[in-house]
Amino acid sequence: MPFFGFDRVMSCSRADLARWLTEFSGSDHGMAQSGRAQIALPWGDLTVTTEEQPERRIGLARFRSLRVRFIAPEGCEEPARQWITRFDQHTQRGGG
């Protein structure tokens, strides 16, 4: 599976992202209240920030748009990349 980077635009709401993070990490991370999550992992805390973007339109279809940034502790980029790749697989609709 390709790695989509530490900074990306996702077609979801903050509530969707908060639910996925809770399902995947198994912990309450604060995303729903603040738009920012702090996830404690064995190699350090991964910070996830969000920023609402204008909705995308394709013909009559409209898609929510959320800029998502994953911020890993310095020196922990590789384990963060692996965690984010597994998280991406978790969010795939239709079973990936």
Residue 63 placed within a domain: yes
Please check whether residue 48 is in contact with residue 39, taking contact to mean a CB–CB distance below 8 angstroms.
yes
Residue 56 placed within a domain: yes
Distances (CA, A) of 53 to 50, 63, 87: 9, 10, 21
pTM for the whole thing? Answer: 0.84
Residue 1 placed within a domain: no
Q: What is the domain count for the chain?
A: 1
pLDDT digits (tens, 9 = 90+) for 51-94: 999 999 999 999 999 999 999 999 999 999 999 999 988 888 76
Residue 61 placed within a domain: yes
Range of the domain at 88: 7-95
Kindly tell me if the per-residue pLDDT of 48 is higher than 90.
yes
Residue 2 placed within a domain: no
Residue 46, pLDDT score: 93
Residue 13 placed within a domain: yes
Q: Report the CATH number that the domain containing residue 37 is assigned in CATH.
A: 3.30.1370.80
Please check whether residue 84 is in contact with residue 6, taking contact to mean a CB–CB distance below 8 angstroms.
yes
